[in-house]
Structure 1
Amino acid sequence: MTHHPTVGEVRTHPSRTLLVLALGALAYTMAQTMIIPALPRLQQELGVSTTSVAWLITLNLLAAALATPIIGRLGDMFGKERMLLLSLGIFAAGSLVAMFAHSLPLYLVGRIIQGGGGAILPLSIGIIRDEFPREKVATGIGTISAMYGIGGGVALVISGILVDAFGVDSIFALALALSIIAAIATWRYVPESPVRVRAPIDYLGATLMAVGLAAVLLAISEGNAWGWTSGGVVGLFLAGAAVLVAFTAWELRAPAPMIDMRLMRRRAVWTVNLAGFASGVAIFGSYILIPQLVQTPSSAGYGFGATVTMSGLYLLPSALLMLVAGPLSGRMSTRSGSRRPLVLGSIFGVLSYLMLAFLHDHPWEILVGSGLLGLGLGLSLAAMANLVVDAVPQDQTGIAVSVNTIVRSIGGAIGGQIAAAILTGSANADGLPAIGGYQGAFLMSAAGTAATLAVTKLMPRGRSSAAQAHAEAAEAVA
C-alpha cells in the first residue's frame, strides 16, 4: 500500500510539499499565458476572426471566475487536498480536449474545462496555512503567489518556441504533462487537511453568484467589441448587478452561506480585496503591453521588431525577480507583518510603469522596467495573499483567498479593456497604435498600482500571526 504522508510529516518536510504545490500552480498559470502568443496562429489555422478566437480567453476567464470560489469553499468543507486533486484533474481534462481539438468549438470546450481548475492557487495557499509550521506559512504563501507571475513570464518564452517547432497542440500537451505530474505528486506527498467546516452546500448562493459574475465579466470582456453603451453590454451589467445584490441579500440570511458577507465587511478583509482589484487593473501592463511594444516594427518610430519568442525574453527579468521577491515578501511578513512588503511592492510597481511609459527607446530600458515590475509584483501578490490568510479564520481560508483571486481577475479584465481601448483609440493609418497609446496604457497601470498603495493606508496595523510566531520563537530562545 502506498504511504500517504501525515500532517506531522509535512511539518517536518515542508519544502517537499511546497515544491509539489508550486508545480501545480506553475502548470495552471503557464497555461493561462501560453495561449496568448498562439492566438494569431490559431486564427490562421482555423480560418476564424480575431473576435472569435478571443473567446478562448473570455470563456476561460468566465469558467475560472465561477469555479474558483465554489471549489475553494468545497475545499474548506470537504478537504483542500481532495479538491486540489479534483482541480488538477479538471485542468488536465481540459488540456487533453484542447490538445486533440481541430475546430474552434472543441478548443473552446477545452479552455472552459481548463478554467474549471482555477482554484489550484487558493487551495494550495490554504494547504500551506493548514499544514505548515506557523513560522513558515508566510514564506510558503509568498512562493506560491510568485508562481502567478513566474508562470506568465516563462510561458511567453516557451509558447513561442513550442508553437514554432511543434504547433499549437504542443502548449496543451505541456500543460497536460505538468498537471498529471503535479496530481500524482499531490496524491503521494500532500496530506489531507484536518481543518474542515461542517456546513451544508449553499446551492442557491453558488447559483446566484455564478450567474451574477458571469453576466458582469461577459459585459466587461466584450465592452470594446460590442460597444459600452450597447443594449447587450448595458443589459448584462444591469442583470449581473441585480443578481449579485440578490446573492448578497441571500448570503446575509443563509444559515450556512457560501461566502460569509459579515467576514467580507471586516476592514482587514475588504481593504485587501480592494487592493487586489486595483492591482489587477494594473497587471495587464506586464503580460500584454510589453510584448506588443517590443514586437512593433521599428519603422513605426518605436519598438524593436522582436519575434514572439524574443518578446517573451523581455519578461524574463520580471519572472526571475518574482522568484526571489515572493519568498522575500513572506520573510518580511514573518518578521514585521505583510503591510510593509505590499507598500514596497506598490512603490516598485509605480516606478516600473512610469519607466516603461517614458523610457522605452532601448532594450535595456525595457529589461530594467520589467525587472522592477517583477520585484513589485512578487512583493505585492505574496503580501496580499498573506494579509487575506491572516484576516480570516482557518476554516474560511479557501473561500477568502478565492474571493481575492476573483476580485483581482475582475480588475484585470477591466484593466485589459481600458488598455485595449487606449491603444485602439491611438491607432495610426497603418493600424499600429501610436507610442502615446502605450504611454497612456502604462500610466493607467501606474495609477492602478498607486491606488493599491493608497489602500494600504486604510489597512489595520498590527502583527501578523507569522510575525507573532517569529517573536514568540525569539523570546523562547532568549
Structure 2
Amino acid sequence: MSHGIPAHRRRTGATATAPAPVPATVATPAPAPDDSAKARTGGGIVAVLAFTGIVVAVMQTLVVPLIAELPKLLHTSTSNASWVITATLLAGAVATPVMGRLGDMFGKRRILFVSLGLLVAGSAICASTSSLVPMVVGRALQGGAMGVIPLGISIMRDELPAERMGSAMALMSSSLGVGSALGMPAAALVAEHADWHVLFMGSGGLALVGLVLAAFFVPESPVRTPGRFDFAGAVGLSAGLVCLLLAISKGSDWGWGSATTLGLFAAAVIVLLGWGAYELRVAQPLVDLRTTARRQVLLTNLAGITIGFAMYAMSLVLPQLLQLPKASGYGLGQSMVSAGLCVAPGGVVMVFLSPVSARLSARRGPKVSLMAGAVVTAVGYALGLWLVHQPWQTLIVSAVIGAGIALAYAAMPALIMGAVPPSETAAANGLNTLMRSIGTSTASAVLGVVLTHMTQPLGGVPLPSMNAFRTSFLIAVGGCVAGLLIAAFLPGRRPAPAAVAAEVPEAAEEAAPAGPGFHGRVRTAQGTPLERAGLTLVSPAGRQIGRALTRPDGGYALQAPRPGGYVLIATADGHQPQAVTVRTGTAPVHHDIVLAPTAVAAGLDVHGTVRARRDGRPLADARLTLVDATGTVVRTAVTGDDGGYRFTGLPAGEYSLIAGGYPPVATALAVAGGTRDHVDVELLHPADH
C-alpha cells in the first residue's frame, strides 16, 4: 500500500526502464480570449485568413500562363521545365499534413507564419533567377505554404463564435478554388505586359502582406496536442506521396507503361501500406488512421479526391478551348488574358456563394451540401457539352461549376471537424486538403492524356479535337457522379441542439444551469452514453471554474460565472480526452461531446483501491490522474462505489499517479511494461479533519 508522496520510485517488472513514448492525447488549453478580444478580432480573423488562403491558391496557378514559354525562359528542355510545376505539387502534398500536425502540436498561428514565410522565401528565389534548379527549389518552397488552408480552417474553429464559424470556414475552404480562378487572369495580364519575374515579386509581396496582417489580427489557437513529432511517419508519408504523385504527374512524359512509372506506382503502394502499419503501432502518429478510418472522415476524403478532380478540369480544359485558333472550327481564338477572365466567374461565384453554402449546411447538414455541390458541378460540365461556341457561353459554364465547387468545398471542413477531436483539426483538414490535391493531380494526368491523344492537325500541328474536350467534360461529370455516390453513404445530419436536448431525459434537462453555463451529453462515437466521464471548465485566465461527472445517461451540467469564452475539458478512462473552446451567453448552451477510444496496446495494467487513511473504508468519487514523465496527463479515472480504479494498456515508462484529496497524494511509478500492478492509495478525507 502506498502512503503519501514517497521519496523513492516504486518499480514494477524486473528493472526500471527509460521513459518510452506515451500517447499524448489530451489537448492542452491555453487561456481563452475574452469577449473584448473577440469583438476586436473576429472580423479581422476571417478576412485575413481568407486572404492568405487565396494568396496560396494564386501561387499554384502563377506559372500557368508561362507553361509554353518555360523551356525558353529557363534555357532547358520541355521535360525538365515541367519540374517547375511538379516540385510545387510534391512539396504541397508533403507539407499539408505535416504542417497540420505541427500546428496541432506547437500552435496553429506559429506554423501559419512558417508556411507564409516559406512562400515569401520561395517567391524571392524565383524572382531572382532564370535558371532551372533555383527555380525548382523556389517553387518547392512555395508549395510548402499549402498548409495555410487547413491551418486557417482550424484557427477559425478555435476562435470564432458558433454563429460565424460556418460561413467563415466555407470561405476559407473555397479559397483554394477562388485563388486558382482569379489568379489565372491576373497572372496572364502580368505575363503579357511585364517581365515574367514580376509574377513572383507579386506573390512574395502578397504573402508578406498576409504575414503582417496575420501577426496583427490572428491570435494563437487555445487548443494544443502536446507530444513528440512523428519524424518516421513524416518521412514514410512523404516518400509514398512523392512516388504516387511523381508517377501521376510525369507518367505521360515517361510513358504510362514504362518501368519507371510502374515502379513508382508499385513503390507508392508498398511504402504507403508500410507507413499505415507503422502509424497504427506508434504512440503519437503523424496521422491518426483510426480517426481517419471513421466512415465520415474516410468518405469525405474520398469525395475530396473527386471534387478536386472536378475543380481542376475546368481550369485545364476551358482555357485551352478558349485559346485555340478559330481556324480549327471550334476554338474561340481568345488571348491568354481573355481566357483567364472567362474562367474567373467561377472564383467570383465561390466568394459570394460561400455564406449560402454554409447556411445550407447549417439547415440541411453538410452531407446535403456536399451532394448538392456534386450535382451542380455535374450540371455545369454537362452544359459544357453544348455551351462552348461563344466566349460568353463559357462564362455561364464557369459560373455554374464554381457554384457547385463552392457548395462542396464548404461542406468538407464541417464533415471533417464533426468527426475528429478539436486537438486534431489541423491535421485532419490537412489530410482532406491533400486528398483534393491528389484529385487535381489525377485530373491533370487523365485529362492530359485525353487532350494529347484525341487530336486533329491544323497547319501540321496536332491540336486537341472537339471530341477531346467533350470527352474531358464527360469524365468530369463522371467524377462528380462518383462524388455524389460516395457522399450518399455519409452519415445523415445529426439532430440540431434543440432536437438533441429534447432527447435528454427530464432529469438531465432539470440539471441544466439556470444562467450562463453548459449542459449536454458525453457519448462514444457509436452514440453510447459515457457515465462518470469528467468535465472541467477552465476560465480565460486558466483557473478551474467547475467540475462535474456525467450521469448514467451521459448528461452533465456546468455553471459559468458570466457570459464569455471558456475551455471545456472532457475525460473518460479508455477514451481520448478532448478540450474545446466554448462560449456561453446569458442562457445555458447545449454542447454534446463525442470521445474517441484510445488505442489499447499490451502494456501496464495498474489497478487498486482508494481508501480513507483513518479507517480504511473505500472512497467513492475520488479522482485519479496519471501523468507521464513530460508532465502530460495521459489518463484520468474516478473511483466507483467500492473505491476501485483501473488503468489499462499503458506503454512502459515513468508515471506519477495523483489522487485528489486533502491534501492530494502522489505516487511515482517506473514500469517496464507488459506487467500488472496493484497500487492502493490512502487519502485524508474531509470528514477526518
Determine if the alignment matches structure 1 residue 462 to structure 2 residue 490.
no
Which residue of the other structure, out of 81, 96, 100, is the alignment partner of 1:53?
81
1:7 CA displacement: 6.1
Q: What is residue 644 of structure 2 aligned with on the other side?
A: none
1:79 CA displacement: 0.5
Q: What is residue 396 of structure 1 aligned with on the other side?
A: 424
Q: Is the 8 A contact 1:335 1:470 kept in 2?
A: no
Structure 1 SS opposite 2:456: coil
Cα distance change on mapping 1:372 and 1:464 into 2, 3 Å: farther
1:474 CA displacement: 13
Task: Write 1 or 2 for the structure with the bigger share of helix.
Answer: 1
Which residue of the other structure, out of 20, 38, 48, is the alignment partner of 1:11?
38
CA distance in 2, matches of 1:267, 1:134: 25
1:289 CA displacement: 0.7
Cα distance change on mapping 1:340 and 1:264 into 2, 3 Å: same
CA distance in 2, matches of 1:106, 1:467: 58
1:44 CA displacement: 2.6
Determine if the alignment matches structure 1 residue 358 to structure 2 residue 363.
no
> In the alignment, residue 38 of structure 2 is paired with which amino acid?
R
> In the alignment, residue 102 of structure 1 is paired with which amino acid?
S
CA offset digits 1:23-53 (Å, max 9, x no partner): 1111110111121112223333233332222
CA offset digits 1:416-465 (Å, max 9, x no partner): 11101111111113310110001101111111011111111100012388
CA offset digits 1:132-164 (Å, max 9, x no partner): 112221111011122111111111111111112
1:476 CA displacement: 6.4
Higher RCO (CA 8 Å, separation ≥ 6 residues): 1
Which residue of the other structure, out of 148, 155, 158, is the alignment partner of 2:183?
155
Determine if the alignment matches structure 1 residue 74 to structure 2 residue 102.
yes
The higher radius of gyration belongs to 2
Q: What is residue 201 of structure 2 aligned with on the other side?
A: 173
Q: Structure 2: which 5+ residue stretches go unaligned?
A: 1-31, 503-519, 521-583, 589-689
Q: Is the 8 A contact 2:75 2:131 kept in 1?
A: no
Determine if the alignment matches structure 1 residue 310 to structure 2 residue 338.
yes
Which residue of the other structure, out of 460, 464, 469, is the alignment partner of 1:433?
464
CA distance in 1, matches of 2:585, 2:370: 25
CA distance in 2, matches of 1:144, 1:388: 14
Q: Is the 8 A contact 1:27 1:151 kept in 2?
A: yes
CA distance in 2, matches of 1:467, 1:363: 49
Q: What is residue 655 of structure 2 aligned with on the other side?
A: none
Q: Is the 8 A contact 1:423 1:433 kept in 2?
A: yes
Q: What is residue 21 of structure 1 aligned with on the other side?
A: 49
Q: Is the 8 A contact 2:178 2:350 kept in 1?
A: yes
Q: What is residue 360 of structure 2 aligned with on the other side?
A: 332
Structure 1 SS opposite 2:236: helix
Cα distance change on mapping 1:266 and 1:379 into 2, 3 Å: same
CA distance in 2, matches of 1:250, 1:407: 21
CA distance in 2, matches of 1:223, 1:466: 50
CA distance in 1, matches of 2:219, 2:235: 31
Q: What is residue 164 of structure 1 aligned with on the other side?
A: 192
Moved over 4 A (4+): 5-10, 464-477
Cα distance change on mapping 1:465 and 1:207 into 2, 3 Å: farther
Q: Is the 8 A contact 1:282 1:447 kept in 2?
A: no
Q: What is residue 31 of structure 1 aligned with on the other side?
A: 59
Determine if the alignment matches structure 1 residue 103 to structure 2 residue 131.
yes
Task: Write 1 or 2 for the structure with the bigger share of strand.
Answer: 2
1:364 CA displacement: 2.4
Structure 2 SS opposite 1:432: strand
| Aligned residue runs from structure 1 range 204-215, under 5 A | 204-215=232-243
CA distance in 2, matches of 1:117, 1:343: 30
CA offset digits 1:56-111 (Å, max 9, x no partner): 11111000111111111000011000000110001110011001111111111110
Q: Is the 8 A contact 2:167 2:355 kept in 1?
A: yes
Q: Is the 8 A contact 2:53 2:172 kept in 1?
A: yes
Task: State the TM-score, normalized to the length of structure 1.
Answer: 0.95
Q: What is residue 448 of structure 2 aligned with on the other side?
A: 420
| Aligned residue runs from structure 1 range 264-343, under 5 A | 264-343=292-371
CA distance in 2, matches of 1:353, 1:138: 27
CA distance in 2, matches of 1:101, 1:405: 30
Q: Is the 8 A contact 2:380 2:401 kept in 1?
A: yes
Q: What is residue 524 of structure 2 aligned with on the other side?
A: none
Paired-residue identity, %: 34
Number of equivalences? 473
Which residue of the other structure, out of 112, 124, 135, is the alignment partner of 1:84?
112
Cα distance change on mapping 1:414 and 1:271 into 2, 3 Å: same
Cα distance change on mapping 1:298 and 1:176 into 2, 3 Å: same
CA distance in 2, matches of 1:375, 1:398: 26
CA offset digits 1:219-268 (Å, max 9, x no partner): 11111111111110111111111111111001111111111111011111
Q: CA RMSD in A?
A: 2.2
> In the alignment, residue 212 of structure 1 is paired with which amino acid?
G
